[in-house]
Amino acid sequence: MPYLRVSWPGCFLRGENVMATEQINKSGAGVHQHNLTNYTECYAQFDWQQAKDAIATLPGGINIGYEAVDRHVDEGHGEQTALRWLGKSSQVLDISYLKLKQQTARFSSVLGRLGVEVGDTVFGLCGRVPQLYYAVLGSLKFGAVFSPLFSAFGPEPVKARMTIGDARVLVTSHALYKKKVLPWREEMPGLKHVLLYGIKGELPDNCIDLDSAMAEADPDFPVRACDDEQLALLHFTSGTTGKPKGVMHVHAAVAYHKLSGCFALDLRPEMVFWCTADPGWVTGTSYGIISPLCHRTTLIIDEQEFDAEHWYQVLAEHKVNIWYTAPTAIRMLMKAGAELVEQYDLSALQFMASVGEPLNPEAVRWSQQTFGMPFHDNWWQSETGGIMIANFASEPVRPGSMGQPMPGVTAAVVERHEDGHVTPIGENNKVGELALKPGWPSMFRGYLNEQARYDKCFVDGWYLSGDLAMRDEDGYFWFVGRADDVIKSSGHLIGPFEVESTLMEHPSVAEVGVIGVPDETAGQLVKAYVALKPGNAPDEALTKSLMAHARKRLGAAVAPREILFRENLPKTRSGKIMRRLLKARELGLPEGDISTLESDES
């Protein structure tokens, strides 16, 4: 298919006119040149048009699926491995960009044969299997809207999201369908087509064998050119209260997916990239599929669940260059011990990043000691569609900090006033709400069917994130907590993350959850729930040791007044510790719909 070929701006990538920063990895095996070599200069000179010009143009528009797949084939890279799938039974399947182009075209063809219309919503309730990646990219190439669902959700959360999203097509496995969709399917007459893979036994009524349908479909089905503002992705997030919100993103977002992958994750063609986030979440779509494929990387897809030895084996055997994972997984690796790492050759690793929740400073220091390089934390939300603030490869990492704003992104800490207006806080190291100036390409275009709720997110020309943060004198941002998680004690505003990070520094501690509990005098007191590493006894001596450590580091006003030990702390499906559930149990309140608490992995 013909297209207008454009190249990424050379001034922002490695090239003859750029002095690249060098980093020697732990083994000394080679030099890695970073994409973003001079943050200050790039930030000052950046223009959004440069990012938009890097996206290939089809006659009449653009398409995320084309940029991620077909473009590379048209440019002569069809034989390169796009996906390397690692199955639960130790299978390894390499899928080239050419095969990925054909398989995604076949999926588009299936949608066309079924009479699916442009703008219809295709839902995916899948594990980490090739069929999911065909469905995501094939839907986008067709012009449909794709909405991923977390496969561990129960029937009710699945039904709620598909109802809100007015589902027309569902792609799922035979087993997931029987367990999570079949019981209520008749209640959703708008769900016209269910495409199943992994069929065992007879094909259920009113369902289609996806693999058979694709085998008969057109491998050259054309990509549809889409308007920049055409809806492409629908992500659901509900945080901790209320019904799920459908966060809408458009095809223009691909410019930001590509840009942020370049600057924040250091992606480049032919690198081996592994994002461990489940594709049912926004991270697993934006950075587990779209961004790395736009950069023509080889994407590792591991079907197995977390296991420390297995993860290190994947990193070593497949020579992973860039690794994007979550703080929960990092803490589990820390718990497994640094000695395990020494058994594997990880010299191919060049960059490691973290996403999902704030990364404790202790985890950053541990990774530096263990891997010879730190994990680089970053911050974003489902609503932002991409990484907004990051610790960049060529910039100093400040453990515990979210980092600095992406080029093109204006971030500030703002103060809300009684009259409803907000103003930026000029003073450094003062807590306020993290806000962003609208205008980046992946900014969400609305909450589905909730215009008033969307409008409330914007005040005085700022997008208000709902997160509290502070900015230091060098422009690094520091997460304090969600606005409704902050503890107010004797006039102090205490961020749970700060207390949790301090307790995490203690050698006996594996995980921490901190909440505020009512107190007649102080308003609230800090209470910590602690899970210990193996071999540590939850006795009075350890309690005193933890209390002393916290008071020394935080001061008596901020340190927890009470510490309780638990074998495990309640977590969302994405691994975040559920402070709200700890608080509900503490106060003896109804815990409500736990599935609501499990739905947000921004």
Options 3.30.300.30, 3.30.420.40, 3.30.110.40, 3.40.50.300; CATH for 487-569 is 3.30.300.30
**DSSP per-residue codes, 371-410:** HSS-EEEEE--TTT-S--EE--TTS---TT--BEEPTT--
Cβ atoms of residues 569 and 529 within 8 Å = yes
**How do the domains of the chain map onto residue ranges?**
10-471, 487-569
Does residue 480 carry a pLDDT above 60? yes
Scanning 266-339, the segments in alpha helix (DSSP H) are: 282-285, 291-294, 308-317, 327-336
Does this model's pTM top 0.85? My answer is no
Given this model, what pLDDT does residue 491 score?
Answer: 57
Fold of 10-471: Rossmann fold (3.40.50)
Contacts of 272 (CB under 8 A, 6+ apart): 84, 297, 298, 300, 318, 319, 320, 321, 322, 348
Does residue 295 carry a pLDDT above 50? yes
- Cα separation, 406 vs 411, in Å, equals 9
Given this model, what pLDDT does residue 552 score?
Answer: 84
Given this model, what pLDDT does residue 254 score?
Answer: 98
Per-residue pLDDT tens for 385-413?
A: 999 999 999 999 999 999 999 999 999 99
C-alpha distances in Å from residue 521, one per residue of 339, 487, 495, 514, 556: 48, 14, 20, 20, 16
Given this model, what pLDDT does residue 524 score?
Answer: 80
Same fold: 10-471 with 487-569: no
Does residue 167 carry a pLDDT above 60? yes
CA-closest candidate to residue 559, choices 599, 513, 505, 503: 503
Cβ atoms of residues 31 and 22 within 8 Å = yes
Given this model, what pLDDT does residue 8 score?
Answer: 41
Per-residue pLDDT tens for 319-371?
A: 999 999 988 889 889 989 999 999 999 999 999 999 877 888 999 999 999 99
Given this model, what pLDDT does residue 589 score?
Answer: 56
Helices (H) and strands (E) in the chain, counts: 20, 30
Average pLDDT on 582-600 reads: 52
CA-closest candidate to residue 513, choices 464, 578, 592, 420: 578
DSSP class of residue 55 equals S
Given this model, what pLDDT does residue 134 score?
Answer: 98
CA-closest candidate to residue 479, choices 402, 550, 372, 535: 402
Band (492; pLDDT cuts 50, 70, 90): low
Contacts of 343 (CB under 8 A, 6+ apart): 312
